[in-house]
Amino acid sequence: MLDINNLKVSIAGKSILKGVSLHVKPGEIHAIMGPNGSGKSTLASVLTGREFAEVTEGTVTYMGNNLLEMSPEDRAKEGIFLGFQYPIEIPGVSMVNFMKTAVNEKRKHHGLDPLSASDFLKMMREKKELVEIDSKLANRSVNEGFSGGEKKKNEIFQMAMLEPKLAILDETDSGLDIDALRIVANGVNKLKKADNSFIVITHYQRLLDHIIPDVVHVLYDGRIVKTAGKELALELEAKGYDWIKKEVENNVIA
């Protein structure tokens, strides 16, 4: 589904990703962990086509296509979804209008007719229930005045509406209370199918208690320095990153 090879990225001339390789197969859940500033969000930015992240080397192939050549909206319509670390407010634009446009743009891209108003509202209702989002949130302007946790839940709701093939969740768990965490995790689990994949960026094992990853990566200083099974997350939780940093430094010296 997604093949990242030796990806190097700089922002404003400063090198941020220094050769990342990552391979995600359909149906897999990958977790990416790593200290603040290591480049996790930058990776998400590159995959979704933000302009400020400049690719200097490497390739990214998504479902057989050169992802880096696609526009951000085409990537979205081809099934890439980003749950933003910091969701954006758009005053005056209703969630209904926003989602309806998004859903119908995607349908158009795939040669489908737009959903009728009633079909669309039915879909909204179903997905709201699926991810247990408060009905009222969907009647407000996009993220406007939402609390931190509400914004994160709203990202999961949008993911449910857009049914992506590859969802990248950037710290969707931070700022959530225990119930909300369960809701977000359940949302992911319910949406998980044999042919869609997730990249879950997180700092905490507790999310991975609910969403069981197939692979856990540690991104450190722009490189994936460790890749292992779900037990790696537990180890990180118990020991922190210091031992990884030491390992990396020793490797460099050796």
Partner 1 sequence: MDKDQDKILDEVTTGEYKYGFHSDIESEQIQKGLSEDVVRIISAKKNEPDWLLEFRLKAYRHWLTMKMPAWPNLKIPVINYQDIIFYSAPKQKPKLNSLDEIDPELKRTFDKLGIPLEEQKHLAGVAVDAVMDSVSVKTTFREALAEMGIIFCSFSDAVHEYPDLVKRYMGTVVPYTDNFFASLNSAVFSDGSFCYIPKGVRCPMELSTYFRINAANTGQFERTLLVADEESYVSYLEGCTAPSRDENQLHAAIVEIIAEKNSEVKYSTVQNWYPGDKDGKGGIFNFVTKRGMCRGENSKISWTQIETGSAITWKYPSCILRGDNSTGEFYSVAVTNNHQQADTGTKMIHIGKNTKSTIVSKGISAGKGQNSYRGLVKILKNASNARNFSQCDSLLLGDKCGAHTFPYLEVDNQTAIVEHEATTSKIGEDQIFYCNQRGISTEDAIGMIVNGYAREVINKLPMEFAVEAQKLLQISLEGSVG
Ligand X SMILES: Nc1ncnc2c1ncn2[C@@H]1O[C@H](COP(=O)(O)OP(=O)(O)OP(=O)(O)O)[C@@H](O)[C@H]1O
Residues that bind Mg ion (CB under 5 A): 40-41, 85
Single out the residue of 10, 31, 33, 39 in contact with ligand X (rule: CB under 6 A): 39
Dihedrals phi, psi of 183, to nearest 5 degrees: -60, -45
Instruction: Note whether 38 binds ligand X by CB under 6 A.
Output: yes
Q: How far apart are CA 148 and CA 41, in angstroms?
A: 18
10 is a site residue for ligand X (CB under 6 A): no
Point out which residues pair with 66 in neighbouring strands: 61
> Which string of x and - marks every residue 95-114 that binds partner 1 (by CB under 8 A)?
--xx--xx--xx--x-----
Location of structure tokens 């009728």: 116
What residue 87 binds from ligand X, partner 1, Mg ion, none (CB within 5 to 8 A, per partner kind)? Answer: partner 1
Instruction: Give the nearer residue to Mg ion in terms of CB position, either 41 or 158.
Output: 41
Give the tokens for residue 77.
């319509």
Based on the shown chain and the rule CB under 8 A, indicate whether residue 145 belongs to the binding site for partner 1.
Answer: no
The two tokens of residue 221 are: 């200083």
Tell me whether residue 140 or residue 182 sits nearer to partner 1 (CB atom).
140
Residue for token digits 């990566």? 217
From 39, 49, 213, 222, residue interacting with partner 1 (rule: CB under 8 A): 49
82 interacts with partner 1 by CB under 8 A = yes
- Give me the long-range contacts of 16-23 (CB less than 8 A, separation at least 24): 16/42, 16/53, 16/222, 17/42, 17/43, 17/46, 17/222, 17/223, 18/221, 18/222, 18/223, 19/57, 19/58, 19/222, 19/223, 20/58, 20/219, 20/222, 20/223, 20/224, 21/224, 22/217, 22/224
According to the binding rule CB under 6 A, does residue 153 interact with ligand X? no
Q: Which is nearer to Mg ion, 41 or 205 (CB)?
A: 41
CB 63 within 8 A of CB 167: no
User: Least CB distance from residue 53 to ligand X, whole Å?
Assistant: 8
How large is the C-alpha radius of gyration of the chain? 18
Is 88 a binding residue for ligand X by CB under 6 A? The answer is: no
Residue from 52, 88, 116, 136 binding ligand X (CB under 6 A): 52
Q: Which does 72 bind (CB under 5 to 8 A by kind): partner 1, ligand X, Mg ion, none?
A: partner 1
Closest separation between CB of residue 50 and ligand X, Å?
8
CB of 186 to partner 1, least distance (A): 22
With beta carbons less than 8 A apart as the criterion, state whether 36 and 171 touch: no
Q: What's phi and psi for 60, nearest 5 deg?
A: -135, 120
Residues interacting with partner 1, by CB under 8 A?
48-52, 71-73, 76-77, 81-82, 84, 87-93, 97-98, 101-102, 105-106, 109, 141-142, 158, 162
